Structure 1
Amino acid sequence: MTDTPPSVDLRTDEPHPARVYDFYLGGKDHFGADREFGRRILGICPQLRPLAQANRRFLARSVGVLAREHGVRQFLDLGTGLPTSPNLHEVAQGIAPESRVVYVDNDPIVLAHARALLTSRPEGATDYIDSDVVDIDRIVREAARTLDFSRPVAVSALALFHFLPDPRPADLLAHLRERLVPGSFLTISHVLPALEEVAEAYQGTMGLGTLRDRDEITALFGDFEFLEPGLVDPFRWRPELEPAEQEPGDEIANLGACAVARRP
């Protein structure tokens, strides 16, 4: 990437998934159209805001577990979204400064903010790839500038695959899993069918939204073996790792699911 900010059409007059998600998280990188759509969605399902926040905390906890308990030092984040502290590299390098992190997104909104993702501890490295997540061969090829795929890599795809129709998630993950050596990890979070009305609103406005049940989400992991506690609500994944009062609890039960799994 160059030092000159990219010239992109941000289409601030239309709601955008990354900016709406930023609105849910209480960020600042959104515009009137995003807030209007986000408020409409929260009118349908006010639990979506705490669900998004729980999903973000799941990211931090899962990265912490992989870095601290499993010695992972390489991370590949698909569908990164807008920078929101703590970012993945901040968590990983806060535990192991030598960690190497590659972010992937093809969203001009994210590209325009990508420099916030490229800060790194001197001992480690971060990189950003402007690519569609379905182009796994290109992602692996460009990520190899920073990551060594002959060693374990932890791949994360949070709040991503419900924006892709079948069979794309299953196909791209099957291809990606073949590129990962034993000891690699896959982390996924996904909304559940209880959010049908929300998905319909996204489909009607942005042409996005694909719901999957727990069995369908489980199938995305292939033969990878789940870490405890398996596929659960985001607030139920290792909640002991942060103060309980930060989690909203049962009000967001059965709205989303997440898991971390290891290639045997």
Structure 2
Amino acid sequence: MNQTDFIKYSLENGVATLTLNRPNVFNSFNREMALALQDHLRAIASDDSVRAVLLTGEGKAFCAGQDLAEATGPGSMEISEIVVQHYNPIILLLRQLNKPVIAAVNGVAAGAGANLALACDIVVAKESASFIQAFSKIGLIPDSAGTFFLPRLIGMQRASALMMTGDKVSAPEAVQMGMIYKTFPDDIFENEVKTLAERLAQMPTKGLAFTKQLLNKTFQHTLEEQLQQEAVYQQHAGQTADFKEGVEAFIQKRKPNFTGQ
């Protein structure tokens, strides 16, 4: 299997689907898969035909994190090098992508796999899926921005406990504690995810991108600074073709036809 096979890519109705494709090892990352995912995210960033992104896993798992066989074998890279070269660029590309990204967690999401999901804009999961901060079980610390996103999602106490104990969190529990958006029953998961992704792909893409950029800034700003940024981005949004279309559709009492412009 070559590098391009480790990520399956498809584009339909404005939705780019990226499927982690190493099911025999629960879609754990090796170097080739990490670099392939980076390449796809960079290409999507400049492709106007992509209006939303769906990230999921092949087979029974979403992603089991790092392939430890690669990280501990002869001539292997240092763990810190793997983090810097593989995972950090992926997280930054996800957060900088001016399009909504849905993580469709179809099974276990462990270690870097869990934190990869949490870095996406919207996380949905099968009811049977689970999330595990597995790092402490092998003497490592949570990476892939886990220490950034998880405390902000569920609070310091719960984040600390989950990271230190490595306890498994079921998908329904993850919804209850605010870690993820929602779950769907396993038998209708794919249809519900497709409906959600296509819905986002039909929305005002630039407006969603501005919203994402504001959310990226919110934790570093004071209230006054964030209010100022909202005014700036609202001006940008008000100059888009989709804003004009949205207003006209509202006045004419019809469904808007957003083009992402």
TM over 0.5: no
Task: Decide which structure has greater helix share.
Answer: 2
For normalisation by structure 1, the TM-score amounts to 0.29
- Between structure 1 and structure 2, the one with the greater Rg is 2
TM-score (norm 2): 0.29
